[in-house]
A and B are shown apart, each in its own frame.
Chain A
Amino acid sequence: MSVKKRSEMAVRYEFKSYRDITPMHVSTGNMLYNKTGSWRFIKPVYEDKTPACQNACPAGNDIEGWLKLLGKREFEKAYWHLKREEPFPAILGRVCFRFCEAACNRAGLDSSIGIRELERFMGDQAVSDTSYPDVLPDNGKRLAVIGSGPAGMSAAYFARYLGFAVTIFDKEDLPGGILRLGIPAYRLPREVVAAEFDGLVRMGVEMKLHTEIGRDISLEDIASTFDYVFLATGAHRSLSLDMAESSGCCRIMSGLSLLQRVARGESPELGQRVVVIGGGNTAVDAARTAIRLGSQVTVLYRRSESEMPAHPEDVREACEEGVVFRFLAAPEHICLLPDATIEKLVCCEMTPGPPDATGRCTPVRKEGMTFDVPADTLVTAIGEAPALDYLQPFMPDTAGRFIETQTDLSVACQIPGKAKVFAGGDTGQTPRTVVHAVASGKRAAIAMDCDRKGLDTADIFRQIQVGDGNAVSFSRYMNWAPVNPVPRNDQSVVDRQKIVYDYFIRAPGIRKEIQSGELRKTGFAPYHPSLTPDEALTEAARCMHCGRCTECDNCLIFCPDVSILDQTRESFGYAIDYDYCKGCGICFTECPRNAISMIEE
Chain B
Amino acid sequence: MKTLISRGKSRIDKERLILAVAAPLLAIIAALVVTAVIIAATGKDPFAAFSDMVTYGSASDSQVYILNKATTYYLAGVAVAIGFRMNLFNIGVDGQYRLAAFVAAVLGGALTLPGWLSIPLIMLAAMATGALWSAIAGILKVTRGVSEVISTIMLNSIATAIIAYLLQPEQLGQLDDAGTLVSTKPLPKSSYFFTIDVGPAGQVWGFIVIAVLVGIAYWFVLGRTRFGFDLRTVGQSESAAAASGVSVKKMVATSMIISGAVAGLVGMPTLLNDSHQYDNSFPVGLGFTGIAIALLGRNHPVGIALGALLWGFLERTTNHLEFQGYDKEILGVIQGVIVLCVVIAYEVVRRYGLKRQQQRVGAELAAQAAAVRTDKQEVAG
Is the A/B pair a real complex?
no
